Amino acid sequence: MNGGRAVRTRRRSVADRSQGRAGACLPPLRNAACTEPDIPWYHTCMEIRAQEPTDEQLVRQALTDTDAFGMLVERYERPLSSYAARLIGRQEAEDVVQQAFLQAYRSLAGFDPHLTFSAWMYRIVHNTAVNMARKRHGTVPTELELDGEMVEILTGDTDVPAEALHQELEGFVAQGLNQLDQRSRDILLLSVVEGKSYSEIADILMVAVNSVGPSVSRAKDKLRKLLDANPAQRSAL
């Protein structure tokens, strides 16, 4: 089995392994949070999680075992697809993630052990999406669904009335993000929307970790100036 086939066929094996004890059907456990002790499958979820290999172990195994790479695909396909959609739109996100996994599989022997597999994959998806968007569109469209907390962080307005934090306001902020330069948009997507740490952002964007904090602050300032310059947008804040 090659890497592409591992990417395509992993979904069925995941569904098979999602059958719990006594035939109970469980959610895909790697995509579920084992945080509710009162739900029936909580202990099974915790047991499976405890037995799962780490990303680093799977990377080593994947050099000779495509099933191990398939486990990595299943583990990261959902979050990476969401990230790719925010970078290039939902229609092309699947192609981006497929290409990224294939590139990762072919490059496993050169994987830098100082990076986390997660940061490495986000970097590959980011670069693949940006390159594809530039070839097809000339710009990178951002597809975002922002919640109230994200809007507060991005705008700095923590006392915004709850009723204002609806689609109109979120749409204004998303439009503002689209007007930012590529690096500022990348920084805010990773820090605010994806919730990545400064260390992770540094690895994904290949920048010094001590530059991330100031870059986040500058990007927020740019966004707020764009909103200030647009009366229609600021009137909703």
State the CATH number of the domain containing residue 99: 1.10.1740.10
**Total of domains in the chain:** 2
The predicted pLDDT at position 149 comes to: 72
Has residue 128 been placed in a domain? yes
Q: Which of 109, 136, 163 corresponds to the end of one domain?
A: 136
> Could you tell me if 7 and 71 lie in one domain?
yes
180 vs 227: CA distance, rounded Å: 11
The average confidence (pLDDT) of the chain is 77
The pLDDT assigned to 31 comes to 44
d(CA 64, CA 44): 29
Q: Is 80 exposed, middle or buried (0-12, 13-18, 19+ CB in 10 A)?
A: buried
52-56, 62-66, 231-235: which has the minimum mean pLDDT? 231-235
Share of the chain above pLDDT 90, in %: 42
Residues 89 and 16 in one domain: yes
Q: What does the pLDDT look like over 78-126, one tens digit per residue?
A: 999 999 988 888 888 999 999 999 999 999 999 998 899 999 999 999 9
The two tokens of residue 62 are 């994947």
177-187 mean pLDDT: 89
In SS3 terms, 160-227 reads as CCHHHCCHHHHHHHHHHHHHCCHHHHHHHHHHHHCCCCHHHHHHHHCCCHHHHHHHHHHHHHHHHHHH
pLDDT of 73 > 90? The answer is yes
In a domain, 142, yes or no: no
Residues 120, 54 within the same domain: yes
Task: Determine the pLDDT at residue 32.
Answer: 45
> 38-47, 134-143, 164-173, 189-198: which has the highest mean pLDDT?
189-198
Given this model, what pLDDT does residue 172 score? 79
Q: Identify whether residues 182 and 69 lie together within a single domain.
A: no
Which single residue is written with the structure tokens 């990230």?
83
Reported as a single tens digit per residue, the pLDDT across 188-236 is 999 998 999 999 999 999 999 999 999 999 999 998 888 887 655 555 4
Boundaries of domain holding 217:
148-234
Q: Is the dihedral of CA 215, 104, 102, 58 positive or negative?
A: negative
DSSP codes of every residue in 107-170: TGGG--TTS-HHHHHHHHHHHHHHHHHHHHTSS--------HHHHHHHH--TT--GGG-SHHHH
Q: Please tell me the total number of residues recorded for the chain in this structure.
A: 237
Residue 143 lies in a domain: no
